[in-house]
Amino acid sequence: MTGALDQAQKTPWRYGFLNLMRRVDAQLCDTPAGSIWQPRMEKFRLGQTPTMTFAPREIAQVSWQDGRLHLSLYSLGLWGPNGPLPLHYTELALNRSESRHDPTLVHFSNIFHHRWLTQFWQAWRSAQSAGGGLDKPEHDRFAFYIASLSGQDLRESAESPLSDHVRLAASAHLVRESRNPDGLAATLAHYFSVPFAVKEFALHWITVANDEITRLGTPAQSSVLGNGALIGQAVPDMQYKFRLIIGPLTLEDYLRFLPGGNNLPVLTELVRTFIGFEYCWEIELQLKPHAAPPAVIGGAQRLGWTAWAGKAMHDRPVTGMIFEPEHGLTH
């Protein structure tokens, strides 16, 4: 017996029907509650306790009988002043159950109560699948709906360091064909809870293929001045690269975004999910003005990584590492 259901036995007034059914569905049922054709195969039974008073609460009683959970309600059934039957039927069922110790009529009505209440639960769960799907992820349809709207297949992300719900949370931006910098910065800031900014048109150098390098004395298209000749082995470009500025950060957060840090693989996967492979990108890490540790001889800081020479400006963030994270992951 689970702890929550055990507690419901002692204090049933602290629980509502739908709240308790979520626990029953998640902890007792292998398939969604109410989906089995024969109720006798289910691990719980639903019913109603007849009473002449207005229901003071939803749950009347929670008990275990022969290894099966019995959940009885005060309302949502045939009996009581709020029920569809005339009140004297409730009086008859109550009198036979309490005065004559004959619960036959109550048990007979619970056959219909069980089916009706499980159908009511399924209707609620279908309409509230955003929350109910988290109870049983293998039967979660809401995630499938959101993923379909944004063109995602959650089966392809089984081995990704990025959880499915992170991708789903960004669906409002992913559903659009054009991905804007503000959407990327907002998605990353929401997940990592640190400031992000996107600097567009960052300078980077494109390496020229070996057979397109201009060489003296070699007849080729790349050797004709004004028609393909190049100086050097790389050309500058500012169209296909952007820079992610992260910070200002505390030193603890700064270390998480360094190569080898816990956040870097997730950040890389999230950026690639957002923009694809069309653009190159790099990271600029910034620390809060007094968060940068000074370089000290014999200290534990690493040169070029977590040590700074000189004094930081009091009102300006300190620029840390600038690197391409995908290269940082592989080298």
Phi-psi category of 145—alpha, beta or left, where left has phi over 0 and alpha has psi -120 to 50? Answer: alpha
283/242 Cα distance (integer angstroms): 9
- Between 149 and 35, where is the model more confident? 149
Pairing between strand 318-323 and 204-207?
unpaired
The pLDDT confidence band at residue 28, using thresholds 50, 70 and 90, is: confident
pLDDT exceeds 80 at position 301: no
184 and 265 part of one domain: yes
pLDDT exceeds 50 at position 330: no
The pLDDT confidence band at residue 99, using thresholds 50, 70 and 90, is: confident
79 and 122 part of one domain: yes
Residue 331: per-residue pLDDT: 34
The pLDDT confidence band at residue 246, using thresholds 50, 70 and 90, is: very high
As a whole number, mean pLDDT of residues 210-229 equals 73
285/255 Cα distance (integer angstroms): 10
Q: What is the CA radius of gyration of the chain?
A: 32
As a whole number, mean pLDDT of residues 315-330 equals 77
- Between 310 and 148, where is the model more confident? 148
pLDDT exceeds 80 at position 318: yes
Asked whether 73 and 60 are in contact (CB, 8 A), the reply is yes
The owner of tokens 């931006």 is 173
173 and 185 part of one domain: no
Residue 328: per-residue pLDDT: 53
195 and 212 part of one domain: no
121 and 9 part of one domain: yes
10 and 116 part of one domain: yes
Residue 132: per-residue pLDDT: 60
pLDDT exceeds 80 at position 50: yes
Q: Which of 180, 152, 184 is nearest to 165 (CA)?
A: 152
CA angle centred on 305, ends 301 and 308, rounded to 5°? 70
Domain count within the chain: 4
Residue 72 φ/ψ, nearest 5 degrees: -115, 135
171 and 186 part of one domain: no
- Between 58 and 315, where is the model more confident? 58
34 and 130 part of one domain: yes
184 and 172 part of one domain: no
Residue 130: per-residue pLDDT: 59
Which residue segment(s) compose the domain that 152 sits in? 141-178
- Between 266 and 170, where is the model more confident? 266
106 and 7 part of one domain: yes
68 and 187 part of one domain: no
- Between 188 and 138, where is the model more confident? 188
pTM above 0.85, yes or no: no
Residue 52: per-residue pLDDT: 84
Percentage of the chain exceeding pLDDT 90: 9
Q: Quick one: which H or E segment has residue 115?
A: helix 104-127
- Between 176 and 95, where is the model more confident? 95
The owner of tokens 């360094």 is 258
Lowest mean pLDDT among 45-49, 97-101, 229-233: 229-233
- Between 2 and 107, where is the model more confident? 107
13/136 Cα distance (integer angstroms): 26
187 and 331 part of one domain: yes
